[in-house]
Amino acid sequence: MTGSDLLSGSSWVTDGGLETDLIFNHGIDLPEFASFPLVENADGVAVLERYFAGYAAVAAAAGAGLLVETPTWRANPDWGQVLGYDAAGLDRANRAAVDLARRVATASGPERSLVSGVVGPRGDGYLAGGEDPDEAADYHAAQVRSFAAAGADLVHAMTMTGPAEGIGVVRAARDSGLPVAVSFTVETDGLLPDGSTLAATLSRLEAEAPADWYGVNCAHPTHVLPALDGGAWQERLRFFRPNASTMSHAELDEMEVLDAGDLGLLSSSAGSLRNQVPTLAVIGGCCGTDSRHVAALWGVSPES
């Protein structure tokens, strides 16, 4: 099966804002906004299994597949070092995260579930990253190799802030033989943090290192709509994980309480976006969202 075939013929529920949900709604301390250390102990694993079970219920209610995305957005060398993880420790945690995701996927029905190994940006997801795709490929290669060794179905790079790091992740995924999705974030004006347009960014990846799928995450639908120009590039978008809040990234970074947003506005503006981009097939949430938000995006009850 090719990468493009893996997600074809179905729609897919994925999870919401894992870190903000655990911190603000469940009172769980996540140093450096990193959830991957939770896979290292029984209590943390139990927390994650309960968390993902809510999205499995949404997928069942929606009659959709379930894409379980690993809690590994920060599980890279720079953030790992701050948290006391060396290369061997990161490999262990990334593999354990895939194993946990596979258990959740299998429990929900293996014929309609997939596991995605999540790669986050080297730096802060709200700031423009580096400009060297080769450096980015080398940097992310170890994490992607861990995903491949543990049996992930695909790689998903999220909150990419410019094309160079996205190209690097694609190259790392190709070297490990995994299909790959790259999702970019945008500011309130629809531009990436480095000032690029989504159209130009996808055009560059298509020219230098095409991903199997593209997406947008960590931005409210009202921030993504200005990026749409009706171009053919929009047909390559498959993933959408919006924020609950209409605040800018800078404003959210300063928040000490959760902005869970306006659920009606989130649903209606996401509906407008999906009308303009009907190819979107993997729908979940990002900062500020939980299973209630994702259920609303799918038009089902979270208790279904």
Instruction: Identify the pLDDT of residue 304.
Output: 45
**Non-local CB neighbours of 251 within 8 Å, separated by 6+ positions:** none
pLDDT given for residue 1 in this prediction: 44
The number of C-alpha atoms within 13 Å of 299 and in the hemisphere containing its C-beta is 6
Residue 103, Cβ density class (10 Å: 0-12 exposed, 13-18 middle, ≥19 buried): middle
234-249 per-position pLDDT tens digit:
999 999 999 999 988 8
The pLDDT score that the predictor gives to residue 303 is: 60
pLDDT for 248: 84
Angle subtended by helix axes 42-62 and 291-298, to nearest 10: 20
Where are the strands (E) in 97-178, listed by range? Answer: 113-119, 154-160
Which parts of the chain sit beneath pLDDT 50? Answer: 1-2, 304
As a whole number of angstroms, the distance between CA 162 and CA 135 comes to 14
What are the structural domains of the chain?
8-298 (3.20.20.330)
What pLDDT, on a 0 to 100 scale, did the predictor assign at position 70? 98
